[in-house]
């Protein structure tokens, strides 16, 4: 049996889909599971033991335009897909599965695509976690979902070797390591850099830990702002790939992060995490990996989440104090 999974577009979304991917493979252990995913998400799935094949799909670049989309559809058609699970909600993905000849096409009844699906599922009205959202689709198709399904993040041996070399190079010891991830793809989700700096100093003074700053190349500026010339902290922002970040987080005693993809990478490898949430709906996107998952979520009274207004309040994440975060680490015994 050939099974197609059409993933969503973002790093966090694809991580949230890993329990569903695992469940598909457990229900159909002899299947050939093909994941269609944006190119930036390919590294996440390359190490996933439940994925047999990955096909990159970028309809705003490589597959942009009718001719290129048609070639892509023909490529999928050659796979003779028996089942297609459309985790992505867009109509165009349902069209592609239909035109590629997938015999069964299962997805949520969104974007006026009911007539393209062989089984369409109504979305629940209440807020549920995204992990549950994808698993519910499988249950509605009759798949057996039993036991606990935390999401997972995988990396390869070469990723771990690279990280081990970085730790040795910077004199970092895993028994003392705390990672701070200060970036986020949306600025309103960011806790102030000065707050991260103060928290880092307090953790060093109180727990005797070593601080490593993580993130992409775009996060180097905010990491440098936290460093502020302090040579006792180490910045690896922009120095690790996505999977290497997972290998690094797996060696940390604690990861403190804004609400962003690396928070879920850390949670997915089993690290203790403390997530700082503001204008998003933590009920849908809180960390739900294999380690200790703790969040602090501040939002003004009466505000509907996720926040979708045009004018962001002048103060939001600043109202989560350093003392709040430090005391949470103490009371939750995240560094014991």
- Global confidence as pTM: 0.92
List, in order, residues 6 or more apart from 183 with CB less than 8 Å away: 190, 215, 216, 218, 219, 222, 237, 258, 260, 262
**Residue 211 phi, psi dihedral angles, 5° rounding:** -105, 130
Q: Are residues 8 and 81 in the same domain?
A: yes
> Is residue 151 a part of any domain in this protein?
no
Q: Does pLDDT of 228 surpass 70?
A: yes
Q: Tell me which of 140, 174, 199 is where a domain ends.
A: 140
Tally of domains in the chain: 2
The model's pLDDT over 1-10, given as tens digits with 9 standing for 90+, comes to 999 999 998 8
Flag whether 49 is in a domain: yes
Question: Do 287 and 252 fall within a single domain?
Answer: yes
What CATH number does residue 301 fall under? 3.40.50.2000
Average pLDDT over residues 103-125: 91
Sign of CA dihedral 103, 138, 91, 54: negative
Better-scored residue on pLDDT, 41 or 314? 41
Question: Which of 226, 239, 288, 219 lies closest to 16 in space, CA to CA?
Answer: 288
Q: What share of the chain is helix, strand, coil (3-state, %, to 5)?
A: 40, 15, 45
Do residues 126 and 198 share a domain?
no
pLDDT in tens, 7-63: 998 888 999 999 999 999 999 999 999 999 999 999 999 999 999 999 998 766 665
pLDDT the model gives residue 62:
61
Helix axes 220-227, 193-207, angle to 10 degrees: 50
Say whether pLDDT at 77 is over 80: yes
Residue 132 within a domain: yes
Residues 135 and 164 grouped into a single domain: no
DSSP letter (8 states) at residue 59: T
């Amino acid at each position: 049996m050939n099974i197609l999974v059409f993933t969503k577009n973002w790093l966090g979304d694809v991580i949230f889909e890993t329990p569903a991917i695992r469940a598909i493979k457990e229900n159909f252990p002899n299947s050939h599971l093909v994941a269609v995913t944006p190119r930036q998400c390919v590294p996440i799935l390359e190490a996933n033991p439940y994925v047999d094949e990955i096909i990159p799909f970028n309809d705003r670049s490589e597959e942009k335009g009718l001719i290129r989309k048609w070639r892509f559809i023909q490529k999928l058609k050659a796979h003779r897909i028996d089942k297609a699970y459309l985790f992505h909600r867009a109509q165009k993905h349902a069209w592609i599965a239909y035109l590629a000849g997938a015999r069964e096409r299962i997805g949520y009844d969104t974007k006026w695509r009911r007539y393209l699906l062989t089984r369409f599922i109504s979305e629940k009205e209440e807020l549920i976690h995204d992990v549950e959202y994808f698993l519910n689709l499988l249950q509605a198709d009759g798949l057996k979902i039993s036991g606990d399904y935390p999401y997972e993040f995988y990396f390869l041996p070469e990723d771990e070797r690279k990280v081990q070399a970085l730790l040795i190079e910077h004199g970092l010891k895993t028994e003392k390591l705390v990672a701070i991830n200060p970036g986020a793809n949306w600025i309103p989700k960011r806790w102030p850099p000065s707050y991260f700096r103060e928290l880092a100093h307090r953790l060093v003074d109180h727990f005797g830990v070593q601080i490593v700053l993580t993130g992409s190349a775009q996060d180097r500026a905010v990491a440098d702002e936290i460093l502020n010339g302090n040579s006792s902290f180490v910045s690896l922002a922009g120095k690790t790939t996505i999977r290497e970040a997972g290998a690094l987080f797996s060696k940390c005693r604690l990861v403190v992060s804004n609400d962003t993809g690396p928070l879920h990478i850390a949670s997915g490898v089993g690290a203790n995490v403390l997530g700082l949430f503001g204008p998003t709906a933590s009920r849908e996107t809180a960390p739900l990996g294999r380690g200790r998952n703790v969040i602090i979520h501040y939002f003004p009274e009466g505000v509907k989440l996720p926040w979708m207004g045009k004018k962001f309040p002048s103060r939001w994440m600043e109202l989560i104090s350093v003392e709040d975060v430090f005391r949470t680490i103490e009371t939750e015994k995240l560094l014991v």
